[in-house]
Amino acid sequence: MNDQQFVTDLIEQKRQNFIDISDQIWEYSETKYEEVQSAALLCQALEEEGFHVERKAGGIETALVGSYGEGKPVIAFLGEFDALSGLSQKAGVPEKDPLVHGGNGHGCGHNLLGAGSLAAAVAVRHYLEQTGQKGTVRYYGCPAEEGGGGKAHMARAGLFDDVDIAFTWHPWDENLAYNCRMLATCQMYFKFKGVSSHASFSPHMGRSALDAVELMNVGANFLREHIIPEARLHYAITNAGGFAPNVVQAEAEVLYKIRAPRSHQVSEILDRVCDIARGAALMTQTEVEMQFDAASADLIPNITLGSLMHKHFEQIGAESYTEEERAFAKAIQDTLSEEEKKTIRKQNGKVLSENVNPYSVEPGFIPASTDVGDVSWIVPTGQIYVTTCAFGTPFHSWQLVTQGKTSIAHKGMLLAGKVMAASAIDLMKHPELIKKAKAEHKEQLGGEEYRSLIPLGTKPMPVKKG
């Protein structure tokens, strides 16, 4: 029996267990650094499979590392399990229908991501046991990918320092081995404090924190013209100072997110945004406090690993679908906007992706961010995208949430586990591929060292409430 058949049979044998774990995490829908139940469920699953589990890894409440085997190479699978605020949605229905108004939902498929990576780790664990192959397989339970930089905190804690190769995947609407760069990012709260006063009787006695926030936003919007075109500035006013217009607001707060192709560019732009905040405080005679929220590095792809995963992806093959699955996917597409439907029409009305896209050795670029980037600076990292939803489904949407417990999603999740496990076993049997991936990684970095964007002493922060 070949290795692909071994991992396929093993994962299929345990498929219901992985599906149950994914569906339960979907039900929990816990946001960044609050994934207590999801982390506990994954710890239990790993221990039942004979892994040694480190809870609260790196001093992070909901981070975990499960290890099996001994010696080199150390192959890591990265799992995520955090949800998003405000995306509560019933499963399996093609119309917007929240379970809890204002509640959380898995709008990026991380319930699938965590369980699919678990499937890969379990398959490799059984391969090591049955063959006597030397090596260590690890499952990294990584919290707070959505705006929390969980892997960045884990990286700063040194949890990946002895890893040889890392693998991960992401739910998607197509099948492909990943060879794209992504943006580094940083989030910072700017909290302004002023003096309250009666806005009509004695406005001259007040110092408006809300004025400071608004002036800061004006300054940041003028800054956009003078930063590199690839950079991005986003902000959200998280505290407007209350609901009384006849009171000069004594407190106000804004959260900024900065993105750029390289970490040092993010740092440079952040310095300028901080100067704008200080200027806004000076103009309004208020005080400003800057509080770091999260950050992640730019993503470094690895062609050696991408090509390897593509090979196994093609050989295992993409999933096929039933008429019932196609009908549900089409019903989801019918809910999309006309602009979103244009993309579908350009692909001849594709409903579900049933092929593996060609692999490109020329790296692409996606204007998004992921904390996988921090891992990719430390260790060669391979990633695949696997179909788990109707083609054209927007992420961070109710349409993605409602598909998270469907057979379409489950098929993609298990396929991801098979491809990653087969790729990992291939590396263990052919250590020269690991050397090649490491040599490429060193060349990609060009002598630059990993520098975390997270300030020393910063603790992970959960989602703000209210």
On whether both 14 and 25 belong to a single domain, the answer is yes
DSSP assignment of 11-27 equals HHHTHHHHHHHHHHHHH
Alpha-carbon span 194 to 217, nearest angstrom = 17
On whether both 100 and 126 belong to a single domain, the answer is yes
Instruction: Give yes or no for residue 186 having a pLDDT over 90.
Output: yes
Lowest mean pLDDT among 73-77, 278-282, 303-307, 457-461: 457-461
On whether both 262 and 374 belong to a single domain, the answer is no
Instruction: Give yes or no for residue 1 having a pLDDT over 80.
Output: no
- Residue 292: inside a domain: yes
On whether both 251 and 306 belong to a single domain, the answer is no
User: 69 to each of 20, 113, 122, how far by Cα in Å?
Assistant: 26, 23, 12
Domain of 291, CATH number, reads 3.30.70.360
- Residue 461: inside a domain: no
- Residue 459: inside a domain: no
Which of 296, 331, 361 terminates a domain? The answer is 296
451 three-class SS: coil
My answer on whether omega of the bond before 245 falls inside 30° of 0, hence cis, is no
Instruction: Determine contact, residues 256/190, Cβ cutoff 8 Å.
Output: yes
Q: In 3D, which of 375, 366, 300 has the Cα closest to residue 142? A: 375
- Residue 106: inside a domain: yes
For residue 138, give both structure tokens. 């690890």
Phi/psi of residue 6, nearest 5 degrees: -60, -50
On whether both 397 and 371 belong to a single domain, the answer is yes
- pLDDT value at position 87? 98
Q: Per residue in 378-414, pLDDT tens?
A: 999 999 999 999 999 999 999 999 999 999 999 999 9
Directed axis angle between helix 303-316 and helix 3-13, to 10°? 70
On whether both 286 and 305 belong to a single domain, the answer is no
- Residue 460: inside a domain: no
Which of 261, 277, 296 terminates a domain? The answer is 296
Q: In residues, how long is the chain?
A: 466
Instruction: Give yes or no for residue 429 having a pLDDT over 90.
Output: yes
On whether both 311 and 420 belong to a single domain, the answer is yes
pLDDT-derived band at 364 (thresholds 50, 70, 90) equals: confident
CB atoms within 10 A of CB 368: 13
Instruction: Determine contact, residues 192/281, Cβ cutoff 8 Å.
Output: yes
- pLDDT value at position 465? 56
Q: Which residues contact 141 (CB under 8 A, 6 or more apart)?
A: 39, 42, 43, 57, 62, 63, 64, 65, 66, 79, 81, 114
Please count the helices (runs of H) and the strands (runs of E) in the chain: 14, 13
For residue 6, give both structure tokens. 């071994």
Alpha-carbon span 332 to 93, nearest angstrom = 9
- pLDDT value at position 450? 92
Tell me what the mean pLDDT of segment 312-319 comes to.
Answer: 98
- Residue 464: inside a domain: no
On whether both 312 and 427 belong to a single domain, the answer is yes
Give CA 232 to chain center in angstroms: 18
How many independent structural domains does the chain possess?
A: 2
Range list of H helices, 14-69:
15-28, 36-48
On whether both 176 and 201 belong to a single domain, the answer is no
CB atoms within 10 A of CB 98: 15
455 three-class SS: coil
Instruction: Determine contact, residues 64/150, Cβ cutoff 8 Å.
Output: no
Alpha-carbon span 422 to 319, nearest angstrom = 17
Instruction: Determine contact, residues 315/391, Cβ cutoff 8 Å.
Output: no
Q: In 3D, which of 410, 420, 373, 416 has the Cα closest to residue 137? A: 420
User: 119 to each of 112, 163, 222, 437, how far by Cα in Å?
Assistant: 10, 19, 48, 24
Give CA 75 to chain center in angstroms: 20
Q: What is the pTM of this model?
A: 0.93
Residue with tokens 């990026």: 108
Give CA 285 to chain center in angstroms: 39
On whether both 37 and 157 belong to a single domain, the answer is yes
- Residue 51: inside a domain: yes
Q: What is the DSSP letter of 79?
A: E
On whether both 270 and 322 belong to a single domain, the answer is no
Q: Which residues contact 197 (CB under 8 A, 6 or more apart)?
A: 203, 204, 205, 206, 247, 248
Residue with tokens 């970490």: 263
Alpha-carbon span 303 to 306, nearest angstrom = 5
Q: Which residues contact 222 (CB under 8 A, 6 or more apart)?
A: none
**Domain with 245 in it:** 184-296
Instruction: Determine contact, residues 62/49, Cβ cutoff 8 Å.
Output: no
Q: Per residue in 38-81, pLDDT tens?
A: 999 999 999 999 999 999 999 999 999 999 999 999 999 999 99
pLDDT-derived band at 266 (thresholds 50, 70, 90) equals: very high
Question: Using CA atoms in the order 30, 110, 294, 371, what is the torsion angle rounded to 10 degrees?
Answer: 160
Which of 296, 319, 353 terminates a domain? The answer is 296
Strand partners, 76: 138, 166
Instruction: Determine contact, residues 106/26, Cβ cutoff 8 Å.
Output: yes
Q: In 3D, which of 138, 120, 131 has the Cα closest to residue 2? A: 131
- pLDDT value at position 86? 96
Domain of 390, CATH number, reads 3.40.630.10
On whether both 253 and 177 belong to a single domain, the answer is no
User: 440 to each of 164, 437, 443, how far by Cα in Å?
Assistant: 13, 5, 5
Instruction: Give yes or no for residue 327 having a pLDDT over 70.
Output: yes
Alpha-carbon span 140 to 280, nearest angstrom = 42
Alpha-carbon span 67 to 128, nearest angstrom = 12
pLDDT-derived band at 85 (thresholds 50, 70, 90) equals: very high
- Residue 462: inside a domain: no
